[in-house]
Amino acid sequence: DGGITQSPKYLFRKEGQNVTLSCEQNLNHDAMYWYRQDPGQGLRLIYYSQIVNDFQKGDIAEGYSVSREKKESFPLTVTSAQKNPTAFYLCASSILRDRVGGYTFGSGTRLTVV
Amino acid sequence: GIQVEQSPPDLILQEGANSTLRCNFSDSVNNLQWFHQNPWGQLINLFYIPSGTKQNGRLSATTVATERYSLLYISSSQTTDSGVYFCAVERRTNAGKSTFGDGTTLTVKP
């Protein structure tokens, strides 16, 4: 079955460490997105990519980095420059042309700073 | 940027009741989506509805793009409908970038 897979489900980061969250999709979707969700709040866009080897900053990109070397993969690195990284991170994908449907989301990664 | 306001912020219903959730947005959009987030955090796409009306079982949605709002109707609610409902919009001038509202938390009691 096609879908979008995020790993790991839970991640613990020490102060000053960089960590990378994985997002893989086998839906042949063009676009991929990373969102951050804090408790009791909506989702905020970190980065998005509409094509391989290209990506754009969202509303809260500071302290994060991404790459899109393959259509199927869009990993997110949370760097030590992100001062408050504890949150729930969600990856999504969508088609772009002839759109009849919306986003498909992964099951998320919960990141905690220890 | 575009503002997305959802109301009410919280809603408590008895099983079997009907409800209407609202999403207002401040600019022209070229797409609008409704999502349900379950207690484990999984987001499920309910509707992709830039305009018009769609129905899927007990759920239906209507978007009036010219008046900048969308409504999600839930009929004969069940306890499994509990969770947070989000609206997300994509501006015409910023394709590919969706902005989410803060959500409506629905609790359905047996």
- pLDDT by residue for chain B (110 residues), tens digit each? 899 999 999 999 999 999 999 999 999 988 899 999 998 999 999 999 999 999 999 999 999 999 999 999 999 999 999 999 999 999 877 777 889 999 999 999 99
* Pairwise CA distance, residues A59 & A61, whole Å: 6
Element (H, E) at A47: strand A43-51
Task: Give the per-residue pLDDT at A16.
Answer: 86
The per-residue pLDDT of chain A, averaged, comes to 92
**Residue B66 neighbours by CB under 8 Å, 6+ apart:** none
pLDDT reading at A95 higher than 60: yes
Upstream peptide bond of B8 is cis (omega within 30 degrees of 0): yes
Predicted confidence band at A100 (pLDDT cuts at 50, 70, 90)? low
Q: How far is B33 from chain A (nearest CA, A)?
A: 7
Predicted confidence band at A61 (pLDDT cuts at 50, 70, 90)? very high
Amino acid sitting at position B39: P
Task: Give the per-residue pLDDT at B69.
Answer: 97
Q: Cβ B103–A58 below 8 Å, yes or no?
A: no
Chain B hits for A43, CB-CB cut-off 8 Å, are 86, 88, 100
Task: Give the per-residue pLDDT at A114.
Answer: 85
Question: Looking at chain B from residue 30 to 69, which residues have their Cβ under 8 Å from any Cβ of chain A?
Answer: 31, 33, 35, 40-45, 47-48
Q: Cβ B96–A58 below 8 Å, yes or no?
A: no
Q: Cβ B86–A41 below 8 Å, yes or no?
A: no
Q: Does A39 touch chain B (CB under 8 A)?
A: no
Rounded to 10 degrees, the C-alpha dihedral A96/A100/A102/A105 comes to: -90
* Pairwise CA distance, residues B7 & A23, whole Å: 32
Write the DSSP assignment of chain B as a string of letters: ---EEEE-SEEEEETT--EEEEEEESS-EEEEEEEEE-TT--EEEEEE-SSEEEEETTEEEEEEGGGTEEEEEE-S--GGG-EEEEEEEEETTSTT-EEE---EEEEEE-
Calculate mean pLDDT across residues A18-34.
Answer: 95
Q: Which of A25, A27, A74, A26 lies closest to A53 in space, CA to CA?
A: A74
Q: Cβ B99–A108 below 8 Å, yes or no?
A: no
Q: Which of A50, A34, A36, A64 lies closest to A95 in space, CA to CA?
A: A50
Q: Which of B79, B66, B63 lies closest to B21 in space, CA to CA?
A: B63
pLDDT reading at A106 higher than 70: yes
